[in-house]
Amino acid sequence: MNNKGKPSKYVSIRTDITALKEQEEQAKYQAYYDELTGLYNRRYVQENFDKIIQPLLDDKQRKNGLAVCLVDLDRFQQVNDWLGQRAGDELLAMLGERFRHAIQVMAHFQLAARFGGDEFLLLLAGDNHRKLAGCLNRLARIVFALFNYQGQTIRLSFKVGASFYPQDGLNYDELVTKGDIALYQARESGQDLVIFDAALGEKLERQIEVERRLRQALDQDRLSMVYQPQYHLTSRRLAGLEALLCWQDDQLGPVSPVEVLQVAQNAGSLARLDEWALDRACRDLLFLRQHALPVRRVAVNLSPGFFARQDARDIVQGILQQYGLTGHDLELDEELMNTLTRYWI
């Protein structure tokens, strides 16, 4: 300060924050981008969905609508098993490059993000199956053309589940959830493209509820068996029984054996269902014999997966020993739904 009380000199301190800014940019990149493909990641799309779609919804594009597509690569795990994880990583990196190129050359292709593993999210302009299928066909020619890795030619295909903005939802959660439902149906049916509709939602809700109730029924032993007699062709005497699953649920009502099989298979509950069927059939056979009914054997048809289990022999022997039975008392067969109305176990 001078003698008049005013500043006479200034001192400035400057700090180079270039490194700090670079660290911030790196942290932002790691938070919002997939390192392997260079595409946006799930977090970025989830946190910025409204900002992403708003610029896309100009008058022309609003008329066409916007498709949210969940994409799952077919048999990608086989590539990893065949050529190794490094090959799989390089393949994903090449996919990232091709997606970025497709965005540049396709007017209807707006965004690609890797959601994890071999699953991607795409945003494409369009409001119906025909338009979307046309976009995806062109995209497939650009992105999923043949890959070459160390002299090996690799062909990838994909499944797509799609939902439309605004008719299927107005936010990330609604649209991605419905796209996931459609993708699940595409995997189950083998279709390349499935677009969400209300029937799919109802089907999934039913499946989830049947899965939940089936787990409870297995835990609480609320399934039952009915038996069909087997007779000798010549003597017409009773030769044995075939066991048939019966499920009458308090809330769902009667559930068909076909639906039980399909739900158990999708939910990973077939092993429990097989073991329950074996146990119940042997228990009921012992009960019938104790009440002087001359039943020689019971036939139990199990899922194909049971016979591939390493512990299948031990399970059967353990249950037979538990009820004092032998292998002559039990007939085991593999059966895949031989009718459309019932599943023998």
From 124, 111, 90, select the one nearest 41 (Cα to Cα): 111
CA 159 to chain centre: 11
User: Residue 157 is encoded by which pair of tokens?
Assistant: 């295909």
CA distances from 258 to 247, 264, 278 (A): 11, 10, 18
**CA-angle at 36, arms to 44 and 66, nearest 5°:** 40
Confidence at 337, pLDDT banded by 50, 70, 90: very low
pLDDT in tens, 290-303: 988 888 899 998 88
pLDDT of residue 292: 81
pLDDT of residue 338: 41
From 149, 158, 23, 146, select the one nearest 85 (Cα to Cα): 149
User: Residue 259 is encoded by which pair of tokens?
Assistant: 């639906």
In contact, 158 and 71? CB cutoff 8 Å: yes
Which residue segments constitute the domains of the chain, with CATH numbers given? Answer: 18-196 (3.30.70.270), 205-334 (3.20.20.450)
pLDDT of residue 336: 37
pTM: 0.66
pLDDT in tens, 233-273: 888 888 889 999 899 999 999 998 888 888 888 778 889 99
What mean pLDDT is predicted for residues 42-61?
Answer: 81
pLDDT of residue 29: 67
| Res. 334: pLDDT tops 70 | no
What mean pLDDT is predicted for residues 43-64?
Answer: 77
What mean pLDDT is predicted for residues 67-79?
Answer: 91
Residue-wise DSSP of 227-293:
EEEEE-TTT--EEEEEEEEE-EETTTEE--HHHHHHHHHHHT-HHHHHHHHHHHHHHHHHHHHHTT-
